Structure 1
Amino acid sequence: MVRKVRDAFGEMEVSEAVFYGAQTKRSLDNFPIGTEKMPKQLIEAFVMLKRAAAKANHRLGTLSLEKSTRIVDACDQWLHQPDYQHFPLVVWQTGSGTQTNMNVNEVLSFLASDNKVTLHPNDDVNKSQSSNDTFPTAMHVATVLALTDRLFPALERLIQTVKAKQHQFADVVKIGRTHLQDATPLTVGQEFSGYLAMLEKIEHMLIQDMDGCFELAIGGTAVGTGLNAPVDFGDEVAHALSRYTGLPFRKTDNHYHGLTSHSQLVHLHGTVKALAMDLFKIGNDLRYLSSGPRAGYGEYTLPANEPGSSIMPGKVNPTQIEAMTMVCSQVLGNDTTISFAASQGQFQLNVFKPVIIYNVLQSIELLSDAMDSFNLRCLSGLTINEEVVKASVAQSLMLVTALNPHIGYDKASEIAKYAHLKQTDLKTAALALGYVTEEAFDQWVDPTKMI
């Protein structure tokens, strides 16, 4: 069954099973490109925005109480039981996201109307608004919600596991490595403290960067002048959104910037990328240190979650690390897309908005999932092969560094070279060269005093 819908271009037919109207149908027909749909988080943010706009319009005297209430009820109805079949549009549409804004307007006007009162998607739901200020506003709201609901909780769970590992292995002395070569010793706990600092610093940076996304472009309408919107509309919408979400949204201090620039999202995603790069580094360290089990470093053991090979029986691979680092690679690519897209759109409007928010939200979602999976299925079950670690420390030539203050760099270097050439240990080499006594060597070369 179909029903007839109309817009400025004329009449069309849509299925009775969907709530959208003519402009959404035209977008479906005109942009059959790819399978990447507008993110669910963006649709949710849009509905929250329309709810806030209806309240602001009534408060400022531009929308009747009945119409405002109907729109708010329609938004609450959908937010309580979200049904995304009514939002079928792909990312690859107009660069301002106009079709998605109208998709939301059409669905909400349908839900808010009945036999007694019909609400218009443009005149009522979109009142005092433009796609040019609603879409960037929804971009910021969606990003903040994705960070607070997904990324920060996942990051905090990972931080707690790293803290636990730091304390668990605080006294395990291991050999350090720089340039993939042996270096002086440290503890496994100290190594993990570096990972912990990475994650905690990134968490702090993200909290700082998120502040820019509390600024909303709403109230600027078409080009930033606020044409057809009450003077205080942006402030009222921001306040209504803050009351609904509990987050400190505020109107931007310059609507022209809010429409034409996405510098806040570029900056924030740069920090998201930095998180991905730190996760990549942590993952690679653990991948190398667990390599083997007999022909690699073999110092750490990762949980065995599934068979690692279809041909080699008993093989176990670092699959969780591989999955996480692939996600990190995707985030790096997303950052390039976001950076380039943010440079586009001439004069008063950036017209690459859909691809920017698609990539921002994808990075946040993928990293959140990847951190949780890595944390639960890999890091939590990581163990240390202490015998292998002790053997590596005992065999290391870089313990000779402890002799520098006593016999000088050149003699210490000669001891290391002699031990390496003769395939012996440092103590034997030092005694053979006559540079130290056995008692002095034992006193000075103690890995537990070098950490």
Structure 2
Amino acid sequence: MKTTRVESDLLGELQVPVNAYYGVQTQRAINNFKISTSKLSDYPEFVKGLAVVKWAAAKTNFELNVLDEKIYKVIADVCQEILDGKLHDEFPVDMIQGGAGTSVNMNANEVIANRAIEILGFEKGDYTHCSPNDHVNLSQSTNDAYPTALKVAVFEMNKKVVAKLELLVKGFEAKAVEFENIIKMGRTQLQDAVPMTLGQEFGGFAFTLKKEIAALNQASQAFLEVNMGATAIGTGLNAVPGYADLCAKNMALLMKEPVTSAENLVEATSDTSGFVAYSGVLKKVAIKLSKICNDLRLLSSGPRTGLNEIQLPPMQPGSSIMPGKVNPVIPEVVNQVCFKVIGNDMTITMASEAAQLQLNVMEPVLAHTLMESMIWMENAMQTLVEKCVVGIKANVEHNKELVLGSIGIVTALNPYIGYKASTKIAKEALESGRGVYELVLEHNLLTKEKLDEILDPKHMLAPHTI
């Protein structure tokens, strides 16, 4: 029984697995690009993005009378199958490749063509009935189809990233409410500052992340402007008049989003700054998230010789040599994800900068790196909220003791006894080990009643009239 079929291209003949829906150019990419462990099939949104592009292109070509209705309908049927999750294992090309994404584009063209041929009742590889180039890739080039499919993918993936970010924000907001009456000591430069509540601290975590939801959604809007119809360099060679605008409209119908054609197709074909801008926002989220995880590790440090203000859920034993040790493994792993995303942003920046003349040939590494960052962040945020944030507990009495024993509360006395006297009290308390409270009374700086009123921690949590 035959296990391969013979297909040919510019470079000659090549054996292709007989049951494969992909063809000769995909097989060459499989043979040539053994670089990463990531395949196109690992990114289903990208595969679906290709299906959206090919469906919209076929519909546009049919409506402009350059594609037969029978071939259009069978291409549309295959694209629907791909959108339904079928045939994804037929996209085996390495995500890192030369050729500006040509292998990805041809992988899609060949799979769609061969499945269409099969539906029409013929043998795979008989491209007289449906050609990867003449029919599926009609009025297109890799240089408009590939970046447009990537934009579709990232736009859809952003919805998942935002959903996980919203989940994390809600987790911190719930803790802010739970901890709203727990007094603790605020710190600046790792030194005692002034009192606050643990709820205020967690509310700050929630708010700083919440601001980035709008930023991510705003950045993703750039992906709704596409360069379909640009073909090779933006001049629209081999596309009929009206193709660009109509293809964008057909994409809008398929995606149910306001897709538009780029104002300048030459510029849009070489420009990848939208991906850089989105990666920049994602990097900002990573920076904020890493800072929060640093804080969680500091606040839970101890349990006997650290801050020990909160308890993180114990997830696993922390040492192969130290019995009883439990480490903050969830914040630690999220920190590492953030480092990766921050580093990936530099790769994306350099890949975008590498555009030359009318094309950016480095889009494959940009695509792989950006989608990797999005997936890692999505997983990290869900892990953090489910395995850490929801289970955080406060050490209430310990927090209160730290406030009452802190020299930092002397700051509240500045408006009443002056900065110089407050400094003197703070210095004496530090040197003697005695409390601020007793020293103020000993020096007759304030009455006990007034001092009790001023140093009530609850009165130091917000602005008030002196």
Taking structure 2 as the reference length, the TM-score comes to 0.94
Matches within 5 A, 1:46-445: 46-113=50-117, 114-115=120-121, 118-148=129-159, 150-445=160-455
Q: Is the 8 A contact 2:229 2:244 kept in 1?
A: yes
Letter in 1 for 2:332: E
SS at 1:183 equivalent: strand
1:115 Cα offset (Å): 4.0
Q: Contact conserved, 1:36 with 1:90, CA < 8 A, in 2? A: yes
Query: What is the percentage of aligned positions where both structures have the same residue?
Result: 39
Distance 2:36 2:81 in 1: 30
Structure-2 residue corresponding to 1:31 = 33
* Counterpart residue type for residue 286 of structure 2: A
What amino acid is the match of 2:37? T
Q: In structure 1, what is the Cα distance between the partners aligned to 2:299 and 2:148?
A: 45
Contact 2:82 2:88 in 1 (8 A): no
Aligned residue among 25, 39, 44 for 1:40? 44
Q: Could you tell me how far 1:232 is from its partner in structure 2?
A: 2.2
The AA in structure 1 aligned to 2:304 is R
Give deviations 1:231-262, integer Å, cap 9, x for gaps. Answer: 32222222222222222221111112221111
Distance 1:176 1:81 in 2: 51
Partner SS state of residue 158, structure 2: helix
Equivalent residues of 2:96, 2:368 under 8 A apart: no
Q: Aligned equivalents of 1:238 and 1:375: distance in 2?
A: 38
Does structure 2 conserve the Cα–Cα contact (< 8 Å) formed by 1:165 and 1:192? yes
Uncovered stretches (5+) of structure 2, i.e. residues with no partner = 123-127, 462-466
Q: How far did 1:74 drift?
A: 1.1
Q: Does the CA-based 8 Å contact 1:6-1:21 persist in structure 2?
A: no
Name the amino acid aligned to 1:371: M
d(CA) in 1 for partners of 2:36, 2:224: 31
- Secondary structure, aligned partner of 2:354: coil
Contact between 1:55 and 1:68, CA under 8 Å: does it hold in 2?
Answer: yes
Q: Residues of 2 paired with 1:214 and 1:187: CA distance? A: 43
| Pair 1:408–1:194, CA change in 2 (3 A) | same
Q: Is the 8 A contact 1:217 1:252 kept in 2?
A: yes
Secondary structure of 2:185's aligned partner: strand
In the TM superposition, residue 390 of structure 1 has moved relative to its aligned partner by: 0.5
- C-alpha separation between the residues in 2 aligned to 1:358 and 1:81? 20
CA 1:373–1:212 in structure 2 vs 1: closer, same or farther (change >3 Å)?
same
One-letter amino acid of the counterpart of residue 372, structure 1: Q
Secondary structure at 2:29's aligned position in 1? helix
Could you report, residue by residue, the CA deviation over 1:287-327 in whole angstroms, capped at 9, with x for unpaired residues?
10011111111010111122122222222111111111111
Total equivalences in the alignment: 450
Question: In structure 2, how many angstroms separate the alpha carbons of the residues matched to 1:176 and 1:401?
Answer: 12
SS in 2 for 1:305: coil
CA separation in 2, counterparts of 1:83 and 1:417? Answer: 73
Task: Give the structure 1 partner of residue 13 of structure 2.
Answer: 11
The question of whether the paired residues in 1 share the 8 Å contact of 2:45 and 2:157 is answered with: yes
Gaps of 5+ in 1: none
CA distance in 2, matches of 1:91, 1:160: 35
Q: 2:433 & 2:179 partners in 1: Cα distance?
A: 31
CA distance in 1, matches of 2:247, 2:391: 47
Tell me, in whole angstroms, the C-alpha distance in 1 between the residues paired with 2:247 and 2:321. Answer: 61
1:257 and 1:361 map into 2 onto residues whose CA distance is 24
AA of the residue aligned to 2:91: F
- Secondary structure at the residue paired with 2:446? coil
User: How far apart, in 1, do the equivalents of 2:448 and 2:280 lie?
Assistant: 55
Deviation at 1:12, TM superposition (A): 1.3
Counterpart secondary structure, 2:6: strand
Task: Report the Cα offset of residue 128 of structure 1.
Answer: 0.3
Cα distance between partner residues in 2 of 1:17 and 1:79: 21
SS at 1:413 equivalent: helix
Following the alignment from structure 1 to structure 2, what is the Cα–Cα distance between the partners of residues 67 and 369? 41
Moved more, 279-288 or 431-440: 431-440
Alpha-carbon distance between aligned partners in 2 of 1:17 and 1:433, rounded to the nearest angstrom: 92
When the two chains are superposed, the root-mean-square deviation of aligned CA atoms in Å is 1.4
1:443–1:33 distance in 2 versus 1, CA, 3 Å:
closer
CA distance, structure 2, for counterparts of residue 436 and residue 20 of structure 1: 85
**Match in the other structure for 2:125:** none
Cα 1:95–1:445 change in 2 (3 A) is farther
Alignment check: 8 A CA contact 2:144 2:232 kept: yes
Other structure's SS at 2:196 match: strand
Paired residue secondary structure (1:174): strand
Partner AA of 1:135 in structure 2: Y
User: 1:171, CA displacement in angstroms?
Assistant: 1.4
Residue 95 of structure 1 and its aligned partner are, at CA, apart by 4.4
Q: Relative to structure 1, is the Cα distance of residues 418 and 95 closer, same or farther in structure 2, using a 3 angstrom cutoff?
A: farther
User: What amino acid does structure 2 have at the position aligned with 1:260?
Assistant: S
Measured after TM superposition, the shift of residue 205 of structure 1 is 0.9
